[in-house]
Structure 1
Amino acid sequence: MTALAVALTACSSSASPAGGGKNGPADPKAVTGTVTVWLMDDAQKNWPDLVQRVNDEFVAKYPNVTLKLAYQGWADKVGRLDKAIADGTAPDVVELGNTETMKYVLSGALAPVDRTTFDNADTWIKALANTCTYQDKLWCVPYYAGARVAVYNSSTFQQATGSAEFPKTESELLTALDRIADRNKADRTFSPLYLPGPYWYAAMSYVAAAGGSIAKFDSAGNWHGTLHDARSQEGIGHFTDLVRKYNKGDLAVNEQNQFESMARGHAASFYGNGYEAASVTAPVTGDPSLKDAVKVATMPGPDGKPLPTFIGGSDLAVTAKSASVAAATDWVRMFTGSKSEQALADKDILPNNLTQLNPLKSKPSTAAAANAVPDAWFTPLAPGWGAVEKQKVIPDMLTAILKGKSVDQATKEADAAIDQLINKPS
C-alpha cells in the first residue's frame, strides 16, 4: 500500500443519518462523518488530475464530511482489505479488480447499488457489468475496462523486416520475430517478444483461441477445472512454446513491469494493456526518445483471428458496513460519471461504457484495445475464483511447465487444485 491518506476536509468522525435520493443524500450540507476511499495506485500514477477534480467536487457538495483517500498496491490489497473487513475498519469505497468482486459479493461485504442512478448505465460494457451482478442485483459499479494488445517498437521491426507495421497473422509475426532475433543475436538478453512465463492472462488467451477454458459449470451445479482438456492443453502448449523461444529474460518473472524491458532496449514487442505503451516512453518509468517508435496493434492469434483478450479493468464498490453509504455511493457516482469517464478516455483508458468507447475504436492509439472488447473472455464467475487466483494455481502451473513438467501432468494437477477451491466461497 502506498500509505497516502489525505483528509480533504475536517469534521465529526461519526456519520449522521441521511436519506439517499437518486443523486445522494437529500441535504448534502447536513451530512457529517467520514468517507474513506481506497483506490489502486494506477490512479495515482496515471490520472491524479481526475482524482483531484472528483475529490474537490465531493468536498464542495459535502462540506462537513471528511474525505480520506488511500492508494493501494495490487500485490497486497486483498490481504489488507480482508483484514480491514474482519477488524471493522474497512473503507467506505474500495476499488476491486474485476476478478476480485465475486468473492466480496458472496461474503456479504458489499452494499447493493441502484444501477439507474449512474451515468451511461444502459450502455455499460456487458462483461464489466457482469462482474458486479449477482442474483439480479448490482453490487459494484464498472470503473474502466482493459484489453490487451501488442505493444511494439516499430523502428526495430522496420530495421529487421523492412516494415514498421505489426504483422496481421501469427505466421507472419513468427517470421518477423525470427528475423528480429537474428538481427539482435549478439545481445543474449534481447527478446523479440517479451512474454513472461507466469503471465496467465496471456496464456489463457491462447487457451481461448484454441477453444479451451479454465473451468466449466456442470449440470450438477458445480464448477470444475478444464485445463487438462485437449483444447486447453493445446493453447497452454502454444503459449509456453512462444515463451521459451522468444523471451530471453527470466522466465519466472511476471508481467507486472514488462514495459521496462522495452524501455531499456531489451525487447521488440510485448503483449500488454494499451496504457503500458505510455509507460515505455514516460519520463520517469521509461525512455521518452522512443515516443515515435512505440506503437500498439492487434495481437494475432494462432487460428487466423485476433488473439482473444481478457476483459480486464476495475470496479468500485461501497462496503456493506459503511456508516456513510449514501455519501460514499455519491462519490462513486461522481468518479464514474460521463465527465470522469471522458477524462479516462482522453488518456487512452477504455471507459466503462460503449457510448464513450466507440470513438476510441478509430483512434490509432486505442483502436486495437477498443475493438477487442466485444469478443473478450473473462474468468469463471465462481464462488471460489478469488481463492484460485490467490493460490496462484495457473501461474504456478505455467512455471512448472517451463521448468520441465509436461503440459499433461501440470494441467491435471492444476485442475485438481481448482476443483478443491472453485466451489467454496473464498
Structure 2
Amino acid sequence: MKTWKALAAAAALSLTLAGCGGGAGASDNKLTVWLMDGSAPDVLIEELNKEFEQSHPGMKVDYQIQQWNGIQDRLTTALTSNDPPDVIELGNSQTAQFSSEGTLLDLTADAGGMGKSQWVPALAESGAWEGKQYGVPFYAANRVVVYNKELFQQAGITQLPANREELLAAITKLEQTHGADPDFQSLYLPGQSWYALLSFIWDSGGDIATGQGAEYKGALDTPQTREGVEYYQQLFKTSATSAPADTDEAEPQQAEVYAKGKVAMMIALPWEVQTAAKTNPKITELSGAFPIPSKFPGKTAPVFLGGSNLAIPGGSADANAAKDWLKLLTSQKYQTKLADSGVVPGASQDTSALAKNPVSAAMAIASKDGKVPPPVPQWAAIESGQNPLKDMMTAVLTGQKTVVDATLEANDKITRLLAANN
C-alpha cells in the first residue's frame, strides 16, 4: 500500500508539473479508451468513435476491451505508467480507491458539460471523493424479481406481489400448487446473494456501514438491519430453495437453474433471462419481472445499483480530447442508445427506452431508489475478498449462529476493514 501511494504521489506530481492542460506527456493523436467486456454494444461505440474522429481531425481512437478478471492490477499498473490510457472504465465500488490515490483527473469543473444535472445520483456519489468529481456515471443495473408467468398462472396468482407479505403469500400458493414436484422451487435464493440481501436491509431502515468522508464503520448491529436479515432468512426457509447456503448466485449460475423451467422466481439482473434463453429459448416469452417488494405500501425496496463510472487518468497525454469523448458519450443521443441496450444510462434520468422489455421495465422502476456501498477506498477489498456479509448469511441460514451473533461478528469485521490504511 505504501509503495502504491508513493507511485500515485509521483504520478500526481508529474501531472502538476505538466501544467493544467492535463497529461504528463506530449499528445500522440491517439485516444486510448479502455472499456470492460460487455459494457456497451460494439455498434454504439463504433458510431461514437466515428463521430468523435470526424470532429477531431487527425485523432484516432484506440478502443480496447478489457476483462474484469484481474482488472484491478492492470489499472494499478497502467495508472502509474508513463503512457496510461486516456479513458478508463471503473466499477462503481472501485472508483473511490483510485480517486483517493491521486491518479485520476479532477473533472469537477467539466461535469456540467457532461450532463451532471441528469446523472444517476447514486453513481454520481460513487464517482466523487472529498468534494471533487473524478468519475462520470457510465451505466447501471439492478436486480428485480424475475418470474415464470406460466407457473404463476397455474398457481392462480393474478396479481404480482407488491409488498413483503404478498411475496410470502405467493410462495405459499406456488408451493401448494407445484410443491409435489421434487425439482420445483418457488424462489431460487442462494444463501450468499448479498446484493439481494441489501434490498431487505435498506428497506427495513438498516445499513451495512455509515459515516462521512473516509470515516466509515459497520452498521449491521441494529434492529433495522437484523429485521432485513431475518426476512431474507424467512424467504430462504419458506421457499424451500435448493440453492446452497454457502455460495452466491454465480455458483451454480442461477440463470442456468432458472432455464430448466421449474423455478418460479429468482432475484436477478435482467440479462440473466437472456443467459437462461441460451439453454431454453422459450424461457424469454415465459418470463416477466417486478421490483423487489417493500414492506411499505406503494413503494419498492431500495436496490443495489451496480454499474460503472468513466474516468480520465491523471497522466493522460490527451486529457482535453478525452473530455470531449466523455461529453459525447454523456449526450442524450448516446445515453438513449445505452438504454436501448438494456441498461440504466448513468448520465440520463430518461429510462423510457427500457419500457420495451418487461424485465428491463421493472429494473427501470426499481432503479429510482438505487443505492451504492460506502464510497470509500477500502470497500473494493471488502467486496472482492472474504466478504463478511456472505459469511454472516451462511452462518445464519445453516444455524451456526443466531442473527444477533452473526450480525455482531460481521459488523466488527467490516469496521476493522474500513479502518484499514485509513
TM over 0.5: yes
CA distance in 1, matches of 2:129, 2:380: 15
CA distance in 1, matches of 2:246, 2:42: 32
- Which amino acid in structure 2 is aligned with residue 40 of structure 1? M
CA distance in 1, matches of 2:396, 2:179: 26
Q: Report what 2:224 is aligned to.
A: 231
Aligned with residue 156 of structure 1, among 151, 158, 162: 151
- Which amino acid in structure 2 is aligned with residue 181 of structure 1? E
More divergent stretch after superposition (260-269 vs 82-91): 82-91
CA distance in 1, matches of 2:119, 2:164: 32
CA distance in 2, matches of 1:79, 1:189: 42
Q: Report what 2:175 is aligned to.
A: 181
**1:106 deviation in Å?**
0.7
Q: Report what 2:334 is aligned to.
A: 340
CA distance in 2, matches of 1:245, 1:149: 19
Q: 1:361-400 CA distances to partner (integer Å, 9 max, x unpaired)?
A: 7975544322323333321223422222232222222223
Residue 264 of structure 2 is aligned to residue 274 of structure 1: no
CA distance in 2, matches of 1:348, 1:266: 26
Structure ranking higher on relative contact order (CA contacts 8 Å, 6+ apart): 2
Residue 41 of structure 2 is aligned to residue 57 of structure 1: no
Superposed CA RMSD in Å reads: 3.1
Q: Is contact 2:86–2:322 with CA below 8 Å preserved after alignment?
A: yes
CA distance in 1, matches of 2:248, 2:83: 32
CA 226–369 in structure 1, closer or farther in 2 if over 3 Å, else same: same
**1:318 deviation in Å?**
1.3
Partner secondary structure for residue 264 of structure 1: coil
Q: Report what 2:393 is aligned to.
A: 398
- The gaps in structure 2 that reach 5 residues or longer are 1-17
**1:144 deviation in Å?**
1.3
CA 155–217 in structure 1, closer or farther in 2 if over 3 Å, else same: same
Partner secondary structure for residue 389 of structure 1: helix
Alignment of 1:238-257 (within 5 A): 238-246=231-239, 247-256=241-250, 257=253
TM-score by length of 1: 0.82
**1:254 deviation in Å?**
1.8
Residue 136 of structure 2 is aligned to residue 141 of structure 1: yes
CA distance in 1, matches of 2:359, 2:72: 32
- Which amino acid in structure 2 is aligned with residue 151 of structure 1? V
**1:252 deviation in Å?**
2.9
Partner secondary structure for residue 288 of structure 1: coil
CA distance in 1, matches of 2:236, 2:84: 40
Aligned with residue 165 of structure 2, among 166, 171, 180: 171
Q: Is contact 1:344–1:351 with CA below 8 Å preserved after alignment?
A: yes
**1:205 deviation in Å?**
1.1
Q: Report what 2:99 is aligned to.
A: 105
CA 55–253 in structure 1, closer or farther in 2 if over 3 Å, else same: farther
**1:70 deviation in Å?**
2.3
Q: Is contact 2:332–2:348 with CA below 8 Å preserved after alignment?
A: no
Provide the aligned length of Structure 1 versus Structure 2: 395
Partner secondary structure for residue 342 of structure 2: coil
CA distance in 2, matches of 1:234, 1:184: 29
Q: Is contact 2:143–2:304 with CA below 8 Å preserved after alignment?
A: yes
**1:67 deviation in Å?**
0.5
CA distance in 1, matches of 2:295, 2:36: 34
CA 131–105 in structure 1, closer or farther in 2 if over 3 Å, else same: same
Aligned with residue 302 of structure 2, among 305, 308, 330: 308
CA 19–199 in structure 1, closer or farther in 2 if over 3 Å, else same: same
Q: 1:170-218 CA distances to partner (integer Å, 9 max, x unpaired)?
A: 2222222223234333543432112221111111111111111111228
**1:142 deviation in Å?**
0.6
- The gaps in structure 1 that reach 5 residues or longer are 1-16, 25-29
More divergent stretch after superposition (307-316 vs 330-339): 330-339
Q: Is contact 1:161–1:176 with CA below 8 Å preserved after alignment?
A: no
**1:336 deviation in Å?**
2.9
Partner secondary structure for residue 194 of structure 1: coil
CA 227–422 in structure 1, closer or farther in 2 if over 3 Å, else same: same
Q: 1:311-345 CA distances to partner (integer Å, 9 max, x unpaired)?
A: 22211111222233223333333333222111111
CA distance in 2, matches of 1:67, 1:416: 46
Q: Report what 2:419 is aligned to.
A: 423
- Which amino acid in structure 2 is aligned with residue 376 of structure 1? G
Q: Is contact 2:245–2:398 with CA below 8 Å preserved after alignment?
A: no
Residue 125 of structure 2 is aligned to residue 130 of structure 1: yes
Aligned with residue 69 of structure 1, among 39, 47, 64: 64
Aligned with residue 211 of structure 2, among 211, 217, 237: 217
- Which amino acid in structure 1 is aligned with residue 368 of structure 2? P
Q: Is contact 2:127–2:135 with CA below 8 Å preserved after alignment?
A: yes
**1:95 deviation in Å?**
1.4
Partner secondary structure for residue 35 of structure 2: strand
CA distance in 1, matches of 2:177, 2:395: 31
TM-score by length of 2: 0.83
CA 135–296 in structure 1, closer or farther in 2 if over 3 Å, else same: same
More divergent stretch after superposition (234-243 vs 199-208): 234-243
